[in-house]
Amino acid sequence: MTETLKNTRVLVIGGSSGIGLATATAAAQAGASVTIASRSRDKLDAAVARIGGEARAVMLDTRDLEAVERFFAEEQAWDHVVVSAAQTPGGPVHSLAITDARTAMDSKFWGAYHVARAAKIREAGSLTFISGFLSVRPSATSVLQGAINAALEALARGLALELAPVRVNAVSPGLIATPLWSGLPEEKREAMFAGAAQRLPARRVGQAGDIANAVLFLATTPFATGSTVRVDGGGAIA
Ligand SMILES: NC(=O)c1ccc[n+]([C@@H]2O[C@H](COP(=O)([O-])OP(=O)(O)OC[C@H]3O[C@@H](n4cnc5c(N)ncnc54)[C@H](OP(=O)(O)O)[C@@H]3O)[C@@H](O)[C@H]2O)c1
């Protein structure tokens, strides 16, 4: 049995781009009242225009615990909260500056932790983190990213006990074509996507909507908690 998202209040933090934007759009299409949150007013305005309907936008930086607490204190309880927010410098452990490594952890792990600590979610509602398949399939050049993703997945499993009956899950994407990769020169980016499509059992690069599907599956499935759903085109087994 699945629940409907009709008339539910759904918050997508990191909803102004990529996976978060696709999730917010899909939730709005399924009848939810959607709020997106992120740091940049411009990105939020553009995203709200794309989602359409009654979508609402809030400026919020998940690294700022006080701001996160203030935000949730002023809002009614949510039915579903999704944390897709992160900006993580990466590179080999031996060459990535330690300040950048801490920045990555602050953004992706501690940001999600702050939200989990402050969020008011109704009974049987859900909290979903976006981790990443590097948690189980490490890359020699992205070791920290894998460790952060593994920490997030463990956080979701533990919180599923602590916050019960609120359900807590993680979705772990493989390589997804989103603005996260817009910093790469176009040629390099397209070569990376093409290489992945050739290598992966799914024979394609992931799209943000593939991950949004999994997030909404977890949000609307009352028996799903403590789960990590990997959607990686087979990247972890290839
Ligand atoms: N794309 C991939 O290949 C891939 C693969 C595995 C895992 N993931 C994970 O999936 C998640 C989403 O990635 P994406 O590809 O959708 O990236 P994206 O397109 O860059 O979107 C990231 C979103 O997070 C927001 N954000 C960043 N830092 C924030 C902060 N401190 N507080 C609030 N909002 C913040 C950004 O908006 P503002 O700039 O306005 O804050 C943006 O809306 C990330 O955790 C990423 O690591 C992605």
- Whether the link from the prior residue into 165 is cis, omega within 30° of 0, is yes
52 Cβ contact partners less than 8 Å away, ≥ 6 residues apart: 28
Kindly state whether residue 188 falls inside one of the protein's structural domains: no
Q: Is residue 93 part of a domain?
A: yes
**In the beta sheet, which residues pair with residue 126?**
80, 167
Residue 173 near residue 133, CB atoms below 8 Å: yes
Burial of 57 (0-12, 13-18, 19+ CB in 10 A): buried
Q: Which domain holds residue 65?
A: 9-177+208-225
Distance CA 40, CA 30 (A): 26
- Write the CA distances from 70 to 33, 78, 189, integer angstroms: 21, 15, 39
Domain annotation covers residue 220: yes
In a domain, 107, yes or no: yes
Ligand 1 within 6 A of CB of 108: yes
Tell me whether strands 78-83 and 56-59 are parallel, antiparallel or unpaired: unpaired
**Does any ligand 1 atom lie closer than 6 A to the CB of residue 146?**
no
> How many A from CA of 191 to the centre of ligand 1?
22
Position 1 scores a pLDDT of 56
Count of structural domains within the chain: 1
Q: How many CB atoms lie within 10 A of CB 237?
A: 11
Q: Residue 53: which CATH number?
A: 3.40.50.720
- Mutate which of 16, 17, 182 for ligand 1? The one with the most ligand atoms within 8 Å of its CB, which is 17
Ligand 1 pocket, mutate which of 13, 19, 23 (most atoms under 8 A from CB) = 19
Distance CA 140, CA 92 (A): 7
- Full pLDDT tens readout for the chain, 238 residues: 578 999 999 999 999 999 999 999 999 999 999 999 999 999 999 999 999 889 999 999 999 999 999 999 999 999 999 999 999 999 999 999 999 999 999 999 999 999 999 999 999 899 999 999 999 999 999 999 999 999 999 999 999 999 999 999 999 999 999 999 999 999 999 999 999 999 999 999 999 999 999 999 999 999 999 999 999 999 999 9
| Distance in Å, CA 144 to ligand 1 centroid | 16
Determine if ligand 1 sits within 6 Å of the CB of residue 107.
Answer: yes
Instruction: Tell me the CA distances in angstroms from 200 to 26, 59, 81, 159, one per residue in order.
Output: 26, 37, 31, 32
58 within domain boundaries: yes
Does residue 106's CB lie within 6 angstroms of at least one atom of ligand 1?
no
Tokens of 175: 């390589």
15: CA distance to ligand 1 center in Å?
Answer: 8
Instruction: Give a yes or no: residue 192 inside a domain.
Output: no
What is the identity of the amino acid at 148?
A: I
In a domain, 199, yes or no: no
Is 235 part of any domain? no
Whether 175 is in the pocket of ligand 1, judged by its Cβ within 6 Å, is yes
Ligand 1 centroid – CA 229 distance (Å): 18
